[in-house]
Structure 1
Amino acid sequence: MAISKNNPIVDGASGRFGNNLVFRKRGNRTVMAVRPSVSERVPTEDQMTQRFLFMEASFYAKSVLENPVLKAAYQAKAKEGQSAYNVAFKDYLTAPILHKLDWSKYTGELGSTLTGRITDVLAVTTVKMSLFDVNDVLIEEGLAVQSELKLDWVYTATVAHTPVVGTRILVQMTDTPGNVYVEEVVIV
């Protein structure tokens, strides 16, 4: 791959050149690369699943470009050489990350809290926490509230129970594209 700098002949060029080269625009640069080859192998089921996932991500990213508010939000997250489309595409394919779940203030009493530090490419829109006892019986579940710093999500207990040790917590996170991801944490 070669990047053209100050070459008026190829500046702004895109498409195929001969049988071996392809010109592409990436941001404000013109990139020259070897023409991609097309495999004649039959794709595996995993490859087909991945292609379908990429197709969904592409549709999502295109829909973002039609929404001025979302487009501006994704463009603000874009690094040099990236577009809102690129960031939206990545957001669709990237799960939110539960960095830690702080249960130090959770005592099993009404009003005690669980705090999850969760990040995503753009934003996490909702966090639902479900608590199960050691016998896997649902104790309670509900939505967490985002903190003022927009980094932590705080769930406040609405049901009292003991013992706290062994409580299984399912953290269900929904990101901007609407994908739902679940992490499980057990209080030790």
Structure 2
Amino acid sequence: MAINKDNIIVEGASGKFGKKLVFRQRGVLTIMSKAPKKTTKAPTTAQIEQRELFGEASIYAKSVIANPELKAIYQAKATGNQSAYNVAFKDYLTAPTCEFELSGYTGAIGDIIKLKIKDVIEVTNAVVSMYDAEGVLLEEGNAIQQDNLLWWNYTTTTENASLPGTRIVVKLTSFPGNVYEYVAIIE
């Protein structure tokens, strides 16, 4: 991939040049790359699933740029030559990260389970479910986002006398509405 810098001959060019080159516009840049080749192989199941996922991401990104309020949110996160469309596309495809901080959990009522959650835009909801070693639901509820926006806290409501094997399940809802599940098991 080559990026045009002050070449007046190709500046603003777009489309295929012969059978070897393709020119694209990204913001104010003209990008030149090798022309893509069509494959004769049938797509694998994984490729078909990935294409469907990309199609869903594209539909989501198009809906974002059609909504001025959402477009402004995504445009604020764009860097360099990214567009709101690019950031929305990435947000749809990228799962948030979730780190468990369990040092404050002793099994008592009122203990705090901390979750460090990062996402492209934001996570809109975090539901915590706790199960004992046999898989019986002990409690479930919403974690509360803290003022620094990175940490979420869940306050326990049930006593847990047997910590080993306790499974903590967190379901996160991302800004596009995708739901992701994270699990920590206390040893």
TM-score over 0.5 for the alignment? yes
**1:48 aligned residue:** 48
d(CA) in 2 for partners of 1:114 and 1:83? 37
* Alignment of 1:86 onto 2:63: no
Shift of residue 9 of structure 1?
2.4
* Alignment of 1:183 onto 2:182: yes
d(CA) in 1 for partners of 2:129 and 2:2? 52
Per-residue deviation, residues 38-76 of structure 1 (Å, max 9, x unmatched): 112111111101100110111111111012222112111
1:1-150 → structure 2 map (5 Å cutoff):
1-98=1-98, 100-150=99-149
d(CA) in 1 for partners of 2:160 and 2:4? 66
d(CA) in 2 for partners of 1:40 and 1:139? 54
Shift of residue 19 of structure 1?
2.5
- Structure 2 counterpart of 1:110, which letter? I
**Which secondary structure state, in structure 1, belongs to the residue aligned with residue 165 of structure 2?**
coil
**Which secondary structure state, in structure 1, belongs to the residue aligned with residue 76 of structure 2?**
helix
User: Runs of 5+ in structure 2 lacking a partner?
Assistant: none
Work out the percentage of aligned pairs sharing the same amino acid: 52
- Structure 1 counterpart of 2:183, which letter? E
Shift of residue 162 of structure 1?
1.2
**1:154 aligned residue:** 153
- Structure 1 counterpart of 2:56, which letter? E
Aligned length: 187
User: Is the deviation greater in 47-56 or in 27-36?
Assistant: 27-36
**Which secondary structure state, in structure 2, belongs to the residue aligned with residue 173 of structure 1?**
strand
> CA-atom RMSD, angstroms?
1.3
d(CA) in 2 for partners of 1:42 and 1:140? 48
Per-residue deviation, residues 80-134 of structure 1 (Å, max 9, x unmatched): 0111111111111111101x21122223222211110010111111111100011
Shift of residue 164 of structure 1?
2.5
**1:166 aligned residue:** 165
TM-score, structure 1 as length reference: 0.94
- Structure 2 counterpart of 1:106, which letter? Y
d(CA) in 2 for partners of 1:51 and 1:178? 19
